Amino acid sequence: MTLLSFLLEAQAGNGAAIMQFLPFILIIAVFYFFMIRPQTKRQKEIAKSREAMKVGDKVVTSGGIHGKIKEVSDSTFMIEVAPAVQMKVDKAAVFASSADTQTK
């Protein structure tokens, strides 16, 4: 029996069957509003901050490497970690700029 047919039968009947699913519906709503929605909001903020990064910004990678952006391409950053030492890093590996981590 599908969920739709079950709900239609419950609506036609006394409604006790829909009350059995109410706790599950509430649990799903709580998961959405307290876990899923804030996480997607945070991911959008991180993506927005990555797109705003420009040459000269100080950044920290996911591996903990501190550096300064020298080049920006579509999917990568060229980061200078020491004088004359540059690394090419994927944009997804850059999580915070040094200025952001110092203020928090």
Residue 103 banded pLDDT, cuts 50, 70, 90: very low
User: Whole-structure pTM over 0.85, yes or no?
Assistant: no
Residue 99 banded pLDDT, cuts 50, 70, 90: low
The pLDDT tens digits for 13-61 are 556 667 778 888 899 999 999 999 999 999 999 889 888 899 999 999 9
Residue 12 banded pLDDT, cuts 50, 70, 90: low
Mean pLDDT score across all residues of the chain = 83
Quote the domain boundaries for residue 59: 54-104
How many domains does the chain fold into? 2
pLDDT at res. 4: 67
Are both 24 and 58 inside the same structural domain?
no
Q: Distance of alpha carbon 89 from its chain centroid, rounded?
A: 19
Task: Tell me the CB-side half-sphere exposure of residue 1, using CA atoms within 13 A.
Answer: 7
Statement: residue 104 has pLDDT above 50: no
pLDDT at res. 22: 84
Which of 52, 75, 92 corresponds to the end of one domain? 52
Are both 45 and 60 inside the same structural domain?
no
Residue type for position 73:
S
pLDDT at res. 29: 92
At residue 67's C-alpha, the angle toward residues 64 and 72, to 5°, is 115
Are both 23 and 36 inside the same structural domain?
yes
